[in-house]
Amino acid sequence: MGIVVLSCGSGGVCANMAEAGKTEGADSLKREKSRLESSVREHVRTEKALETERDFLAAVLAAADTLILVLDSAGRILQINRAVELAMGYSADDLCGRMFISTLPIREVAAGLREDLRRLEKGGGPRPFESHWATSTGERLLVHGSLAPLRDSTRTLSHIIVTASDVTQRRALEDELRAMSLRDDMTGLYNRRGFALLAEQQLKDSRRSESTLAIVYADVDHLKSINDAFGHGAGDIAIITCAQALEVTFRESDIVARIGGDEFVVLAEADARKLDLVSRRLNRELDRRTADSGLQFPVSLTIGSAHSKPPHRTSLDALLQQADAFMYEHKHEEKESRE
């Protein structure tokens, strides 16, 4: 193989080549510098965009009425929003770093939420829940919400988002409305609908326990005469007096209801002998209330009763009809005795 030796001659060619090399190197440095500057500018823009997005998300979290907590995959609280602080009475410093399960939910419901978290860890989807949470002062709030998983590119659980709403007041209002629909406005006793619902269940329970139940049907005496002589306000007083006497005479476990203008019914666990004693106590209670109130008219009730005994059971409607019939029979007898 031959060896070629290049000669620069007078040196001009080599000088030119060196100058060309320097220029090319400078251009390469400029290009690299431009690339780095562009990369830095892009990084700065990205950082600013991320910061803007973080600020926006923080503002959304702060403005949201919904209670929002961010947990890590183990269930440890990483972040809470302002709504959590206001509702629960804790600051972010109080809660962040603590385990969600052992901090907010009361002990009785923690087990169910713990199982929900395990299912999320195993790949499950969002889990709805309704449970009681304890505030910093020990007050119980009823919350309704969900546990939603966040997963990374490998589908591994990375975070859990807890969103919840305080439904304590709404549930209390619902319960109040439900109670109102089952209660008589004037007396506070159960109304016909409330009595039917509770009495049917009581009858079912008595079949299992083989206990004797009594239906008492009571009618306010001379209500029309009281209304005519003293006005409807006096008639209302007579009705309320009877309702109060019935309520204190019978046991708390008995079901006392006003099912009509002057008609009351009671479902009580009592045989005939016990019911006779209760009836006498009721009459004494009415006499006492009439005397203590200084009413210008007597207040009394005429009652009839029917029993449901094991092993033979009677339907609620049949018992009511029997007790109603006996009540009118007693009312007729009293009318004849006065004549």
Confidence of residue 25 (pLDDT cuts 50, 70, 90): low
- Architecture in CATH for domain 183-338: 2-Layer Sandwich (3.30)
CA–CA gap between residue 139 and residue 128 (Å, rounded)? 23
Lowest mean pLDDT: which of 19-33, 93-107, 213-227, 259-273?
19-33
Q: Residue 105: its pLDDT value, please?
A: 85
Structure tokens at 135: 């505030």
Q: Which amino acid is at 83?
A: A
Mean pLDDT of the region 235-257: 94
pLDDT of residue 103: 87
**The CATH number of domain 62-171 is 1.10.1660.10:** no
Rounded to a whole number of angstroms, the distance between the first and last alpha carbons of the chain is: 154
Q: Which of 300, 221, 213 is nearest to 251 (CA)?
A: 213
Please give the pLDDT value at position 239. 96
- The confidence score (pLDDT) of residue 310 equals 74
pLDDT band at 16 (very low <50, low <70, confident <90, very high): low
Q: What is the pLDDT of residue 5?
A: 47
pLDDT above 90 as % of the chain: 49
Both tokens of 47, joined, read 């950082």
- Domain map of the chain by residue range? 62-171, 183-338
- Which strand (E) or helix (H) includes residue 151? strand 140-151
Residue 15 is predicted with a pLDDT of 58
pLDDT (average), residues 212-241: 93
pLDDT value at residue 178: 74
Question: Which of 223, 200, 203 shows the shortest CA–CA distance to 213?
Answer: 203
pLDDT given for residue 225 in this prediction: 93
What are 333's two structure tokens? 């007898």
Residues 6+ apart with CB under 8 A from 237: 293, 295
- Residue 266, helix vs strand vs coil: strand
Q: What is the pLDDT of residues 148-164, one digit of tens each?
A: 999 999 999 999 999 99
pLDDT for 53 beyond 80: no
- Rounded CA-CA distance 32/44 in Å is 18
For residues 110 and 190, the model is more confident at 190
Position 11 scores a pLDDT of 53
Angle, helix 232-249 to helix 223-230, in steps of 10 degrees: 140
* 317 pLDDT above the threshold of 60: yes
Closest CA relative to residue 298, chosen from 306, 307, 308, 288: 288
Strand partners, 76: 99
Would you state the pLDDT for residue 97? 95
Q: Across the beta sheet with 157-166, what order do the strands follow?
A: 77-80, 67-72, 157-166, 140-151, 127-134
- Does the predicted TM-score (pTM) go above 0.85? no
SS3 161: strand
SS3 73: coil
Residues 191-205: tens digit of each pLDDT: 999 999 899 888 888
pLDDT for residue 293 is more than 80: yes
Tokens standing for 158? 């990375």
Write down the mean pLDDT value for the chain.
85
Dig out the tokens for 9 from the structure. 């001659």
Assess whether pLDDT exceeds 50 at residue 4: no
Spatial contact of 110 and 116, defined as CB atoms under 8 Å apart:
no
Residue 94: pLDDT band (50, 70, 90) is very high
Q: Name which residue leads in pLDDT, 23 or 158.
A: 158
Q: Encoding tokens for residue 226?
A: 């009281």
**Residue 10 pLDDT more than 60?**
no
In this predicted structure, what is the pLDDT of residue 339? 61
Q: What is the mean pLDDT of residues 27-56?
A: 75
- Output the six-digit token pair for 312: 């033979």
Residue 288, pLDDT score: 93
Are 239 and 184 a contacting pair, CB within 8 Å? no
Mean pLDDT of 177-183: 81
Hey, which of 18-22, 85-89, 109-113 has the most confident mean pLDDT? 85-89
Continuous H helices in the chain: 12-63, 82-88, 92-95, 107-121, 168-182, 192-209, 223-230, 232-249, 272-293, 316-338
Place of tokens 């499950």: 124
pLDDT of 280 above 90: yes
- Judged by average pLDDT, the poorest of 93-97, 163-167, 199-203 is 199-203
User: 150 near 159, Cβ under 8 Å?
Assistant: yes
Position 8 pLDDT exceeds 60:
no
- 267 vs 204 pLDDT, higher one: 267
Contact 242, 217 (CB under 8 A): no
Mean pLDDT, residues 55-74 taken together? 82
